[in-house]
Amino acid sequence: MKRLVVVGGGNAGTLIANLLAGKLEITVIEPNEYHTYQPGLVDYITGEVDETKIQMPTRSLLKPSVKWVRAKATKIIPEDRAVVTEDGKTYEGDYLVIATGGQNKHIYNLKGYHGIDDSKVIRNEVLNPRGKNFVIGSLPGIIKCPAAPWELSFLIKRKYPSANVSVIVPAKQPPPLQVPMSNMFNKKANELGIKVYKGFVIEEVNHNERYVVSTEGDKITFDHLIIDTPISTNFTEFADRSGLIPVDKSTLVYRDGVFVVGDANNTPTPKTGAAAHFQAEVVVNNILAEIEGNRSKESYDGTAMCAVYSGPNEGMLVWLNYEKSKALGPTSIYRYMKKAFTSLYWASLSGGVDFVLKPLVESVRKN
């Protein structure tokens, strides 16, 4: 039986391991005892759910035949399709999947909010505000889900209508594929009375006096600062200028027998859970095509999608691939879709909701 080593037990890594369980001898290397549903962190930060709704034990999400090594990978040897863990042990396979995610850079004493510990700090601030001025946004670079800062601003403004909520956006103009999303979010921000600062690149953060200054000298004061930071791979020796690992954007191949999926790769598509899911399915199909020889290989077309809360009874849906994009809503159906997926996510890690997910994506793509 062929061997597969998966580095990372997040969304893509878990799905790949489960879909190939029983067909290959699989080892997943993941140091964290609990798996976090990252899109649910906005619900957690704003007090809509507690940790039990967005975390599950890593072992419980992997099929019994999958071997879980609870250790941190410290070295990757692509030419050998091998991984060395912190205890000095080496795990080698016929195939290697790097699904380590992207790690938030620590800049200006800002760390992002995609880990449960960082989210706890922000949750405490949001639920126990010391003032009315919330400044939300991101630093330049590749971040996890460009919609997330907007979504947080919508939720906080709805929670505290009298709050002064501002969104800072580093880019003066969005990339062409993100124009529909940007226009929709800007319109909603205007409706809610949220101030948007475009082209605001943070150059200074004064945490004591609570203000940020842009490269152009503009100054914004805050009581609460929620800033996402760019991500990079921990394995910098393999990274390109983006800070992520370069792959063929259609096959997700780094080199023969080595795939990089999800936030860790440099595909030019937003880093969302849906993107990781669809990339994982392409990798699974193509590994089986090589092993079994009875199916055609597939290409990843850049499909990414995310539902966004925009109000108490409404939501939005953003869809895109490498060629085009759509921004839909606001409507109640997209809010309920996102709410429902907080529970459905766990089933998705074994492919259990593809009978719903795939027709939905195809419908959005065509309409």
Q: What are 188-202's pLDDT values in tens digits? A: 999 999 999 999 999
Q: What is the pLDDT of residue 101?
A: 97
Q: In this predicted model, what pLDDT tens digit does every residue of 108-151 receive, in sequence order?
A: 999 999 999 999 999 999 999 999 999 999 999 999 999 999 99
Q: What is the pLDDT of residue 354?
A: 84
Q: At what angle do helices 148-159 and 179-192 cross, to 10 degrees?
A: 10
Q: To the nearest whole percent, how much of the chain has pLDDT over 90?
A: 93
Q: To the nearest whole percent, how much of the chain has pLDDT over 70?
A: 100
Is the pLDDT at 213 greater than 80, yes or no? Answer: yes
Q: How many residues does the chain have?
A: 367
Q: What is the pLDDT of residue 350?
A: 95
Question: Between vectors from CA 197 to CA 195 and to CA 200, what angle results, nearest 5°?
Answer: 155
Q: What is the pLDDT of residue 343?
A: 84
Is the pLDDT at 259 greater than 90, yes or no? Answer: yes
Is the pLDDT at 95 greater than 90, yes or no? Answer: yes
What span, in angstroms and rounded, lies between the C-alpha atoms of 89 and 345?
Answer: 32
Q: In this predicted model, what pLDDT tens digit does every residue of 270-312 receive, in sequence order?
A: 999 999 999 999 999 999 999 999 899 999 999 999 999 998 8
Average pLDDT, the chain: 96
Is the pLDDT at 367 greater than 80, yes or no? Answer: no
**Coil, helix or strand at residue 329:** strand
Q: What is the pLDDT of residue 342?
A: 84
| β-strand pairing of 3-7 with 25-29 | parallel
**Coil, helix or strand at residue 261:** coil
Is the pLDDT at 71 greater than 90, yes or no? Answer: yes
Neighbouring residues of 87: CB distance < 8 A, sequence distance ≥ 6: 71
Is the pLDDT at 23 greater than 80, yes or no? Answer: yes
Is the pLDDT at 363 greater than 90, yes or no? Answer: no
Taking the complete model, does pTM exceed 0.95, yes or no? yes
Q: What is the pLDDT of residue 29?
A: 99
What span, in angstroms and rounded, lies between the C-alpha atoms of 125 and 86?
Answer: 35
Q: What is the pLDDT of residue 116?
A: 95
Q: Of 273, 279, 230, 302, nearest to 10 (Cα)?
A: 273
Is the pLDDT at 247 greater than 90, yes or no? Answer: yes
Burial 115-137 (b: 16+ CB within 10 A, else e): ebebbeebbebbeebeeebbbbb
Q: For 209-224, what is the mean pLDDT?
A: 98
Write down all domains in the chain, each with its CATH number in brackets. Answer: 3-102+233-301 (3.50.50.60), 116-228 (3.50.50.60)
Q: What is the pLDDT of residue 206?
A: 98
Q: What is the pLDDT of residue 12?
A: 98
Give residue 206's Cα distance to chain centre. 28
Q: In this predicted model, what pLDDT tens digit does every residue of 165-174 receive, in sequence order?
A: 999 999 999 9
